[in-house]
C-alpha cells in the first residue's frame, strides 16, 4: 500500500490554523485580547522552538469550546474558514494533494491541531482521512478537554498506527510512504517514512533535511 501523509499548519497552509483560530476569537471579542493574545503568541513560539507543553496548550486552546454551543461554534468556524483559512491555502498545496490522491492508495492529513479546527480544512482539501488531536465531547457539547493521545511529536507515530489498525492495516503493509512537514516537531515521523519532504522548513528541520539529503520544497505562492 502507498500512503501519503501531510502535516497541515505551515505545510499545506501558509500559516497556522491553531494560532489563527485563537486570533479569530480575539478579533470577534469572544476572547479577551489582553489576556489571550500574549499567551497565544507565547505558545506559538514554544511550538516553533520544539519546547511546547502540549497539555498546557490544549487546556488553553480547547477551553473556549466549552463555553459556546456547537451551533455558534460552527457558525464562527464558517467565517473563520472564509476569512482566515481560504487566504492561506495555495494552489501549489492543492495540486500536490491532488497528485497524491491519484497516485497513492491512501492520503491523510496528520496534525497536532484539534479536530474541531481541522476537519473542515481537510474537507476543503478533499482529504477523507484526518488524524488529529481529539476533543472530548459529552452529549454533543465540547468539555474543553482533549481526548486520548495528542497527535504531537513522537505520538504522531502512535496515532498513525492506531489509525492504520482501524483500517485493518499495519505499518508493515505500507510499502511506500510520503510525509510532508515544515516542523522539527515532526522529525520522528519524517524519519519513519520512505519519502520525507521538508516543506518551507524551520531552521532545525532544514539543517536535518540537508544533512540527510531529504528534498526541500516550498508550497508558498
The residue ranges of every structural domain in the chain are 2-217
> Which one of 3.40.50.1000, 1.10.10.10, 1.10.8.60, 3.40.50.300 gives the CATH number of domain 2-217?
3.40.50.1000
Per-residue pLDDT, 81: 98
Per-residue cell: 8: 497541515
Residues of the chain where predicted confidence (pLDDT) is lower than 50: none
**Residues with active-site annotation:** 7, 9
Distance CA 97, CA 107 (A): 8
Per-residue pLDDT, 60: 83
DSSP 8-state secondary structure symbol assigned to residue 84: I
Residue 181, strand partner residues: 198
Centroid of chain to Cα 159: 13
Per-residue pLDDT, 138: 92
* Residues near 128 by beta carbon (within 8 Å), at least 6 away in sequence: 107, 122
Q: What angle do CA 122, 124, 125 make, to 5 degrees?
A: 65
Amino acid at each position: 500500500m502507498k500512503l501519503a501523509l501531510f502535516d497541515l499548519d505551515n505545510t499545506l497552509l501558509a500559516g497556522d490554523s491553531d494560532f489563527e483560530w485563537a486570533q479569530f476569537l480575539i478579533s470577534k471579542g469572544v476572547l479577551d485580547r489582553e489576556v489571550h493574545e500574549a499567551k497565544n503568541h507565547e505558545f506559538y513560539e514554544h511550538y516553533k522552538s520544539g519546547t511546547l507543553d502540549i497539555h498546557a496548550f490544549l487546556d488553553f486552546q480547547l477551553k473556549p469550546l466549552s463555553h459556546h454551543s456547537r451551533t455558534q461554534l460552527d457558525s464562527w468556524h464558517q467565517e473563520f474558514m472564509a476569512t482566515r483559512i481560504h487566504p492561506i491555502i495555495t494552489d501549489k498545496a492543492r495540486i500536490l494533494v491532488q497528485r497524491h490522491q491519484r497516485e497513492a492508495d491512501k492520503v491523510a492529513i496528520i496534525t497536532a491541531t484539534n479536530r474541531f479546527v481541522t476537519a473542515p480544512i481537510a474537507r476543503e482539501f478533499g482529504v477523507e482521512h484526518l488524524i488529529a488531536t481529539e476533543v472530548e465531547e459529552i452529549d454533543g457539547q465540547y468539555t474543553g478537554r482533549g481526548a486520548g493521545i495528542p497527535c504531537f511529536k513522537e505520538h504522531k507515530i502512535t496515532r498513525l498506527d492506531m489509525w492504520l489498525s482501524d483500517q485493518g492495516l499495519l505499518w508493515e503493509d505500507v510499502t511506500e510512504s510520503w510525509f510532508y512537514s515544515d516542523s522539527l516537531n515532526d522529525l520522528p515521523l519524517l524519519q519513519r517514512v520512505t519519502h520525507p519532504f521538508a516543506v518551507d522548513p524551520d531552521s532545525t528541520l532544514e539543517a536535518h533535511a540537508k544533512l540527510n539529503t531529504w528534498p526541500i520544497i516550498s508550497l508558498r505562492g
